[in-house]
Structure 1
Amino acid sequence: MEIGMIGLGRMGGNMAQRLLQHGHRVIGFDPDAHAREALAAHGAGTATTLDDLIRQLPAPRALWLMVPAGEITEQTIAQVRPLLAAGDTLIDGGNAFYKDSMRRAETLAGDGIHYVDCGTSGGVWGLAEGYSMMIGGDEAAVERLRPIFEALAPAKDKGWGRVGPAGAGHFSKMVHNGIEYGLMQAYAEGFSILQHKREFALDLHQVAEIWREGSVVRSWLLDLTADALAKNPSMDGIAPFVADSGEGRWTVAEAIDLNVAAPVISLSLLERLRSRDADSFSDKLLAAMRNQFGGHAIKHE
């Protein structure tokens, strides 16, 4: 099957490579010439413009969009929309907000163009291990693309599926990432407690390795944690700053809208925000209040 890939960054490039390995023809476009050259080295075709990309694909076309969510996605769809024809399918594999995906699907449907939202998980390991894909969109359109999803997944019948209409794929991935926030926070807090028990001088990597086999907390995330602790047990050189890409915020907001209590996910998001306040005014004020009512000492900078 032939597919056009728009966006050849690390994940998009890896996905294109996996499709090539499974015998699909891929034509890639990226404004960065180096990204195009890197993909061409693996046997893919390339295009220097979106017009060029569309011309090289047979109808009905399948285009996989792998660019950052938000304005870049919006602009790219606006540019490619007039180049497509009825029956073509645009697959958005990024972390778009699900309500944006619903809107885009409705807009493109007016031109007879299918929009498939594919929440994609797997990160840098997806090339070797396969990707987990939560897919939303028209059932017939998704079925026509089955060979692509089967090639990208860990196995033809595992790790992927159509979960509902347009928007359902990105909604499922949004919640997936919210859960990920909570899991990561729990591991981080647990290992921090272990690290602070100085008299035991625990080897955190050893503990992680023990937990990896037979433990109820074993997981792929724990495997990655063990690897990180093996390479850098004291986390030297790493700033205590944790970024977020938006999905946790969206998950918490959706939980509030649905009247669903989600304290773990909510607090894990707040902890990420807290990690960015190197000069915490609230903590300084807390110290000042303790001094005011109890005469407790203030630690000066």
Structure 2
Amino acid sequence: MDIGMVGLGRMGGNMALRLARGGHRVVGFDRAGARGEVAELETVQSLPELVAALPVPRVVWLMVPAGAPVDLTLDQLLPLLQPGDVVVDGGNSNYHDSERRAARCSDAGVHFLDCGTSGGVWGLQEGYSLMIGGEAGAVALLRPVFETLAPAPDRGWGHVGPSGAGHFTKMVHNGIEYGMMQAYAEGFAIMQRKEAMALDLAQVAKIWQHGSVVRSWLLDLAADALEQNPTLEGIAPYVSDSGEGRWTVAEAIELDVSAPVITLSLLERLRSREKDSYADKMLAALRQGFGGHGIRPG
């Protein structure tokens, strides 16, 4: 199958390579130009060239940043497409935006699939977990693509529901990821603080990788990180977020669902960015005020 890939950044480029190595013809376009390994792919210099290079029905897969860049790409892309063509948004868009974009594409006779994509930089070797929302017919048309991108043709991907469902499930997936990461981080911090035990944290992580109920790919990554850098020297205690955790918490509130682990994990990420916490200064002042507790000079 011929696929047009818009966005050849690190993840988009790796996905394009996996498709190409799986026997598909991939034509790529990236405003910043192809980078790194993607240089081995067939690339073009504009969206009109990309569309012209694809047979009908065209399949165009977007891997661009969530938000305005997706809408801008659709503004330029839709006038070039024909009824029956398919657009896939494989980025981390908000599912409300995906519902809106699906309706817009439908008005033009173009199918729109929202594909929540997990796998990160390891997806080229391991395959991607794909959560797909949209029309069943369009999903069936792209089945060979999904089977190639997934870890295996019969697992790691699926049509999860109507338009928006793919990005909705990916949003919740990332919220769960926040909680898992926070639990690992806190657990290893407790062991690191117990200096009297002189624990080898890389060793502990490797033990847990086999047979333990807490084994996971995240634990594998922790074991690798600790083996390479046991003290995590040179890593700033600053944790970014790309939006999905915030959206998950907002959705939980909207649905009256208690989600304290995901919520507190998000708040901890925000807290990690406070180099000079006014709130902590206020806590210290209050403790001195009611209990006479000492204040450390700043």
Q: State the aligned residue count.
A: 298
Please tell me whether the aligned partners of residues 202 and 223 of structure 2 are also in contact (alpha carbons under 8 angstroms).
Answer: yes
Query: Could you tell me which residue of structure 2 aligns to residue 287 of structure 1?
Result: 284
* Map 1:13-162 → 2, pairs under 5 A: 13-35=13-35, 38-41=37-40, 44-162=41-159
| 1:3 partner amino acid | I
Alignment of 1:278 onto 2:261: no
Rounded Cα–Cα distance in structure 2 between residues aligned with 1:39 and 1:278: 38
Matches of 1:28 and 1:40 in 2, distance apart? Answer: 10
**Cα deviation, residue 46, structure 1:** 1.2
Alignment partners' CA distance in 2, 1:106 and 1:179:
29
Q: Secondary structure at the match of 1:116?
A: strand
- Cα distance in 2 for residues equivalent to 1:287 and 1:22: 59
Which residue does 1:8 correspond to in 2?
A: 8
Matched, 1:247 2:235: no
Q: What 5-or-longer segments of structure 1 have no aligned partner?
A: none
Whole-angstrom distance in 1 between the partners of 2:33 and 2:139: 31
Q: What TM-score do you get using the length of structure 2 for normalisation?
A: 0.99
1:74 is displaced (CA, Å) by: 1.4
Q: Does the C-alpha gap of structure 1 residues 53 and 73 become closer, same or farther in structure 2, counting only changes over 3 Å?
A: same
RMSD: 0.9
Give the superposition deviation at 1:34: 4.1
The TM-score with structure 1 as length reference comes to 0.98
Alignment of 1:186-205 (within 5 A): 186-205=183-202
- Give the counterpart letter for 1:11 in structure 2: M
Runs of 4+ in 1 over 6 A off after TM superposition: none
Distance 1:34 1:105, change over 3 A: closer
CA-CA distance at 1:208 after TM superposition:
0.3
Q: Secondary structure at the match of 1:156?
A: coil
Distance in 1 (alpha carbons) for counterparts of 2:44 and 2:34: 12
Q: 1:38 Cα shift? A: 4.5
Deviation at 1:209, TM superposition (A): 0.4
SS in 2 for 1:245: coil
Tell me, in whole angstroms, the C-alpha distance in 1 between the residues paired with 2:34 and 2:131.
Answer: 30
Partners of 1:219 and 1:38 lie apart in 2 by 29
Change (3 A) 1:63 1:34: closer
Output the amino acid matched with 1:102: E
Unaligned runs of 5+ in 2: none
Q: Does residue 184 of the first structure (1) align with residue 181 of the second (2)?
A: yes
Tell me the SS of whatever aligns to 1:19. helix
- The alpha-carbon deviation at position 32 of structure 1 amounts to 2.2
1:299 corresponds to 2:296: yes
**1:78 Cα deviation from its structure 2 partner:** 1.1
